A = this chain, B = another copy of it.
Amino acid sequence: MRISDEMVKHIRAIIKKTGYIPNRAAASLRTGKTHVIGLIVEDIANSFFASMAKSVEKVAAKVGYRVVYGSTENNDSRGNDLIQLLVKQVDGFLITPSIGMKTGVQALRKSRKPLVLIDRYFPGEEIPFALVDNYGGVSKATECLIGKHRKNIAFVNVAMDQIQMKERERAFVEVMRDRGLFQKKWLLRLPYYQDKAQYEPRIRNFLQKHPEIDAIIFATNYLGMFGIKALKDLDISIPEQVAVFSFDDTDLFRFSSPSISVISQPVQEIAAQAMRLLLDQMGGQTKKTPEEGALIAPELILRSSV
């Protein structure tokens, strides 16, 4: 505060007149800070990750950061390449890692690069994460269906070892077991397809094989999308014959008729918590407490499908 207001005003005027913009590459070289955050998601075209990108952009802009993004498409080597590509160009990472990115992510962590996992995490790895309470969400949805006197409830999942998928499934299985309703045949695990349209016939088959099913929970938005298509193709009425829940909220679920009940992820909240955990690390000063994970409560949105 040793500089007079007048001088400040004068300098600002010159900055404006000459159109001076600091060269961040130079500043970056000198300080080692880029003021850029790397956002690595599964697929930026998926509405969940697209909203995430929007929220991250907003929170980051507020604290003077820009965001570069990359999609892994659940391809491990692509994901690791993205990390390598960006590691020197960003101050920190927000990553939705595929399973095979574990070593890459661990290396990043060991090198003390600020890093927060989103949407999933590696159990036992002490890497900060921000994600929805997958277990809580599905268990609530399952209980809701049971409360509506559905007994033959199916769960359609994608067969990936990722923790978020396992947690969703575990919640379903445990609640069903508790009530003595669990049947293994009502648990459908499908491979991860790049081409999501392949889910539709698979789900249709499953439904035909198990006409006793009176409710389904879809573990992801794309399973829900194609699952509903399959139900409609088979002229199975929602919710009369089969009640439906899907994870993730999308326009499709909101506007579908009947509208689909969902376990909604509070994307803004997740983004805000992730950025908070990241900024904690990037501040890099006197953090005594080790950073932990943030588990954000999902919102059960009841619509016409239950």
Which residues of A come within 8 Å of B, CB atoms? 21-26, 28-29, 34, 36, 43-47, 50-51, 53-54, 57, 61, 66-71, 84-89, 225, 228-229, 232, 250-252, 255-257
Contact of A69 among B53, B86, B228, B232 (CB under 8 A): B53
Q: Are B68 and A86 in contact (CB under 8 A)?
A: no
Chain B residues, CB < 8 A from A25: 25-26, 28-29, 34, 88-89
Contact A45 B34 (CB under 8 A): no
User: Is B250's CB under 8 angstroms from A24's CB?
Assistant: no
Query: Once the chains bind, are B44 and A53 in contact (CB under 8 Å)?
Result: yes
- Asked, given contacts A228-B255, A251-B251, whether A66 binds B47 with beta carbons under 8 Å apart, the answer is no
Contacting pair A66 B86 (CB below 8 A): yes
Q: B residues within 8 A CB of A68?
A: 36, 66-68
A133–chain B nearest beta-carbon distance, Å: 23
Q: In the assembled complex, which residues on chain B have CB atoms less than 8 Å from the CB atom of A24?
A: 88-89
* A252 partner residues in chain B, CB cutoff 8 A: 251-252, 255
How many identical subunits does the complex contain? 2
A21 contacts across to B, CB distance below 8 A: 84, 87-88
Q: Of B23, B45, B54, B256, which is within 8 A of A51 by CB?
A: B45
Subset of 22 A-B contacts with CB under 8 Å: A21-B84, A21-B87, A23-B29, A23-B88, A25-B26, A25-B28, A25-B88, A36-B68, A36-B89, A45-B50, A45-B54, A46-B50, A47-B50, A47-B251, A54-B71, A57-B70, A66-B89, A67-B69, A68-B68, A228-B255, A252-B252, A257-B257
Closest to A46 in B: B50
Using known A-B contacts A88-B24, A256-B256, determine if residue A44 contacts B36 with beta carbons closer than 8 Å.
no
**Chain B nearest Cβ from A251, distance in angstroms:** 5
Report the 4 A-B pairs with minimum CB-CB distance, sorted nearest first. A50-B50, A25-B28, A45-B54, A25-B29
Given the complex of chains A and B, what is the CA–CA distance between A250 and B251 in angstroms?
Answer: 10
Task: List 8 additional A-B contacts (Cβ < 8 Å) besides A44-B57, A47-B47, A54-B71.
Answer: A22-B88, A24-B89, A36-B89, A66-B85, A66-B89, A67-B69, A228-B255, A252-B255
